[in-house]
Structure 1
Amino acid sequence: MIKRDIPKIRFNNSKIDWQQVKFKNLLNSEEGIRRGPFGSALKKELFVQNSEYVVYEQQNAIYDHFNTRYRISEEKYHELKKFILLPGDFIMSGAGTIGKISLVPEGIENGVFNQALIRLRVNKNTDKEFFLQWMRSSKMQIKLTKANPASAMVNLVPMSEVKEWDVIVPSLEEQSAIGYLFRTLDDLLTSHKDNLANYQSLKAAMLSKMFPKAGQTVPEIRLDGFEREWKKSKLKDVAHRVQGNDGRMDLPTLTISASGGWMNQIDRFSANIAGKEQKNYTLLKKGELSYNHGNSKLAKYGVVFELQDYEEALVPKVYHSFRVNQLADAKFIEIMFSTKIPDRELGKLVSSGARMDGLLNISFDDFMNIAIIIPTIEEQQAIGAYFSNLDQLITSFQEKITQLETLKKKLLQDMFI
C-alpha cells in the first residue's frame, strides 16, 4: 500500500496529494536566497542622519516589525542594490536568534538589509502567506537549525544545503487556502493583543488618577456622584487579622503569583501537607485578603489579593491575612495596594530596617499600622466595581489570546508535513 503524503488536517475540498519538490523550486530562480552584505559594507560610520534610505536589521525579522534605526546615503543605497528589500520578500534572522522569518509588507521605506539577515524571494507558484506560516512551523524551524556537537550551539543550516532540500508542499490553491486561514488567525490575534494592551494601559492610567496623590485628599478623576474628601486612616481601622485553620488539609492550597493573582499549588503541596504542617497554613475564606510581603513584578513592597474564585483555601502563614470591616470594600483595598499609596508607607518600614536576609520582613502589626486614605464605603464599592469590570475585560482578552495561540500551534503541527 502506497503511503499518501497528506497532513493530519486538510480542507474538505482538497483532493490532490502534497508533492515532493526541491526547496529551490519554491523560490525565484534568480534572487531566491541572498545573504546580507559583509559587515564592512554597512559600518556605522557610513550611516547618515537625513536620508530616505534605511537599513533593515535582524530585529525586524525577530520581532516582525519594520521600524529602523539607521539610514544610508542614496549613493550607498544604489551601491548595495543587490541587497534591496521589496514588499513580498522574506527576511530571516541568520545570527544569534536564528531562523525567525517575517514577510516584508507594502509601504516600507526604501532600504537594504544588513549582514545578519537572509532574504528569500518566492516565485509565482508559491503563496506568500503559506510560505510564511510553513517556515514558522515547528517542523521547519527544527529543520532550519541544528546543534553543533562541539559547542552545543544552535546554527542555521547553510543556505546552499537548504536549497537542495526535498520538501513536500500542496497545490497553489491549497497553499492559498492555508495561508488565508493563518492570516485570519494572525489578524484576530493582533486585534485581541491591541485590545488587551489598551485595557491594560487604561487600568494603569486610572490607578494613577483615581487615587489621591501624596498630600492630597481627592483624586484627579472621580466617578459620577462623589464629591466628599477622602479620610486619612490606618489599615487596622478598617480590617482585622485572619489566622489559623480548622484542621482540614484537603482544601486548595494557594500562593500569590509574582505576576499577579492566585496560583493553586495543590499538585505541588498535597503530598507534603500533613497534620504536623497545619500550623504553616491560614484558612482564608471568600472575600478575605492576604498580603505577600515579598518583592514581586506587581509591587516593590509586596502585593495584596482578595480571595474571590474559591469559597475557602489554605494560604501560607507567612502571608498577612485579613478581613475588612463595614468601613471598607475588599476589592477597593486590593486595588489600593496596586497604587503607590501603600508603597510609600511600606517603603518607610523597609528603609527603617524591615529586612531579613535580603527579603522584606514586615510584621503584621507594622503592616496594619500603615497609613491609608479612603473615601466613603459607597465610593469604595463603585471604584472596586469599576476595576473589577476592567480586570474581567483584561482576563477575557488574555484567555482569547491563549486559546487562539493554542489553536494556531495545533494547526501548525497538523496542517503541514
Structure 2
Amino acid sequence: MDKITNIPEIRFDGFTDAWEQRRLGEVVDIRSGRDYKHLNKGNIPVYGTGGYMLSVDEALSYEDDAIGVGRKGTIDKPYLLKAPFWTVDTLFFSIPKTDYDLYFVNDIFQRINWKQLDESTGVPSLSKTAINAVKVQVPTFEEQIKIGNFFKHLDHLITLHQRKLELLYETKQTFLSQMFPKGEESVPEIRFEGYADAWEQRRLGDTVVIFAGGDIDKSKLKKVGKYPVLANALTNDGIVGYYDSDFRIEAPAVTVTGRGDVGYAKARKVNFTPVVRLLAIKSDNDVDFLENAINNHKVLVESTGVPQLTSPQLANYKILFPTIGEQTQIGTFFAAIDHLTTLHQRKLNTLKEIKKTLLKKMFV
C-alpha cells in the first residue's frame, strides 16, 4: 500500500481528514503595491520588501490583513501586514480568500522556497502567475485556525525574545559609552563606588604581550576536544576545531581579529591556539575589561584591499586604563551582560529551530 503523503506527521486532537491540494491562486488574492510619493504624511504605514518605510494618509487595504511577499529584490522574506497599510510596487500583498485563515496561510508562505520561483536573470523577481501556480496542501478551516493560532503564539514568543536581545545590545552600548571616558576625557561618566582617580592613557604594546596566530596541524584537529583552535571568524566563537592535548596560548587571554572585521576583541577563559590572522593578547590587565576597552576603541587600519590589523598596529592602540580593581569591576559587569545576552540568543535560536522543525512536521 502506498504511503499517504497528504497527512502531516503531527496534528491536533480531533483532526484526521487528509489535506487537499490547492493552487495558491485559489487560497489568496495577490494584489500589487503602488507608488506612494503622491500621498501626504499620515498614520498609515507603508511597507517595502525590507519592512516598514514611512507613514501616509491613504491605504491600499483598509480592513483586510494580508501577507507581503517581494515582487522584486528580496523575494524570500514574506511577512504579515495588519490593515490599514500601503505597499510599494516591489511588494505584493496577498489577502486570504474565504475559508482560509490568515495565520495558517502565512505559515504556508514561510515554507515555500520563493527563490526557486525567481524568473529573472538579474535582480530576483516574482510574478503573480508564478505565485498563483504554486501547489499547496490545506486542511479544513477549523484545523487551519488551530495551526495558525499555534504558530501565531510561537511567533509572538520569538518576537519577545528578539526584543529582549535587542534591548540587551542597546543596554550594553549605552553603558559602554558611559563607563569609558569620552574623547579627550580621562574620567568616565559612570563609575563604581570608591573609584575617583583619572584613567591613564597607555600604548597597548607597553602593557600587554601580543602574539600572532600561525598555521595549524590539521591532522590533529578534532571535532571534539579539550583545547579550541580559534580562527578569525566570529561565528561559533571562532572555533574551527579542537586539539586534545596541545595549545599555544594559556588563558586568560584576549583574541583580536586581524582581517575582515578587524579589531574585534573577545576574552578567552580556556587555553587555545590561534590561527593565521588572529591576534592574541596576554596581559596582567583584566581580560573582560580589555575586551571591552579594545572594542570601544576606534579602529583605524590603513589598507587598500581587505582590512587587516597587524601586531604592530594593535600595539600602537592608545587606550585609557583605570586601576586593576576598577578594571575588574567593569569587566565583571560587562561579562554578566554578555552572559545574559548569550543565554537569550540561545533561547531565541532554540525557538527558531523548534518552529523550523514544527513547520516541517505539522504541514504536508
Give the structure-1-normalised TM-score.
0.71
Within the alignment, does 1:315 sit opposite 2:274 as a pair? yes
1:181 partner letter: F
Indicate which of 75, 93, 107 corresponds to 1:133. 107
Indicate which of 260, 265, 271 corresponds to 1:304. 265
Q: 1:167 and 1:288, CA in 2 relative to 1: closer, same or farther beyond 3 A?
A: closer
Show structure 1 runs of 5+ residues with no match.
78-82, 271-280
Matches within 5 A, 1:390-405: 390-405=337-352
Residues matched between the structures, number: 353
Matches within 5 A, 1:348-367: 360=308, 362-364=310-312, 367=314
1:273 corresponding residue in structure 2? none
1:378 corresponding residue in structure 2? 325
Q: 1:198 and 1:361, CA in 2 relative to 1: closer, same or farther beyond 3 A?
A: closer
Quote the Cα distance in structure 2 between the aligned partners of 1:386 and 1:402. Answer: 25
Matches within 5 A, 1:91-240: 91-98=68-75, 100-106=77-83, 108=84, 112-138=86-112, 141=114, 145-147=117-119, 151=121, 155-159=125-129, 163=132, 167-236=136-205, 238-240=207-209
Q: 1:321 and 1:86, CA in 2 relative to 1: closer, same or farther beyond 3 A?
A: same
Quote the Cα distance in structure 2 between the aligned partners of 1:86 and 1:200. Answer: 36
2:240 corresponding residue in structure 1? 265
2:354 partner letter: L
Quote the Cα distance in structure 2 between the aligned partners of 1:186 and 1:137. Answer: 14
Quote the Cα distance in structure 2 between the aligned partners of 1:87 and 1:225. Answer: 60
Q: How much does 1:369 deviate? A: 5.6
Quote the Cα distance in structure 2 between the aligned partners of 1:163 and 1:398. Answer: 37
1:336 partner letter: A
Quote the Cα distance in structure 1 between the aligned partners of 2:277 and 2:93. Answer: 56
Contact 1:286 1:307 in 2 (8 A): yes
Contact 2:254 2:268 in 1 (8 A): yes
Q: How much does 1:164 deviate? A: 6.7
Contact 1:285 1:307 in 2 (8 A): no
RMSD over aligned CA atoms reads 3.7
Quote the Cα distance in structure 1 between the aligned partners of 2:90 and 2:305. Answer: 45
Deviation digits for residues 17-54 of structure 1 (CA, Å, limit 9, x no counterpart): 21334545545xxxx343346xxxx584xx144566x6
Contact 1:244 1:283 in 2 (8 A): no
**More displaced 10-residue stretch of structure 1: 181-190 or 228-237:** 228-237
1:16 partner letter: D
1:278 corresponding residue in structure 2? none
Matches within 5 A, 1:38-53: 42=35, 44=37, 47-50=38-41
1:294 corresponding residue in structure 2? 259
Contact 1:17 1:170 in 2 (8 A): yes
1:337 partner letter: I
Matches within 5 A, 1:331-346: 331-340=288-297, 343=298
Q: How much does 1:186 deviate? A: 0.8
SS where residue 252 of structure 2 aligns?
coil
SS where residue 322 of structure 1 aligns?
strand
Q: How much does 1:360 deviate? A: 4.2
Quote the Cα distance in structure 2 between the aligned partners of 1:43 and 1:369. Answer: 52
2:224 corresponding residue in structure 1? none
1:401 partner letter: L
SS where residue 295 of structure 2 aligns?
coil
Q: How much does 1:338 deviate? A: 1.1
Show structure 2 runs of 5+ residues with no match.
222-226
Quote the Cα distance in structure 1 between the aligned partners of 2:122 and 2:258. Answer: 41
Indicate which of 18, 32, 37 corresponds to 1:35. 32
Q: 1:121 and 1:163, CA in 2 relative to 1: closer, same or farther beyond 3 A?
A: same
1:156 partner letter: L
Q: 1:377 and 1:175, CA in 2 relative to 1: closer, same or farther beyond 3 A?
A: same
Within the alignment, does 1:6 sit opposite 2:3 as a pair? no
2:19 partner letter: W
Q: 1:181 and 1:63, CA in 2 relative to 1: closer, same or farther beyond 3 A?
A: farther
Q: How much does 1:84 deviate? A: 3.7
SS where residue 121 of structure 1 aligns?
strand
Give the structure-2-normalised TM-score.
0.80
Q: How much does 1:180 deviate? A: 1.3
Q: How much does 1:337 deviate? A: 0.4
2:231 corresponding residue in structure 1? 255
How many percent identity over aligned positions?
Answer: 24
1:105 partner letter: K
Deviation digits for residues 317-354 of structure 1 (CA, Å, limit 9, x no counterpart): 654433222xx2121111110112xx4xx74xx57xxx
1:412 corresponding residue in structure 2? 359
Quote the Cα distance in structure 2 between the aligned partners of 1:315 and 1:10. Answer: 49
Quote the Cα distance in structure 1 between the aligned partners of 2:292 and 2:311. Answer: 21
SS where residue 391 of structure 1 aligns?
helix
Query: Which has more radius of gyration?
Result: 1
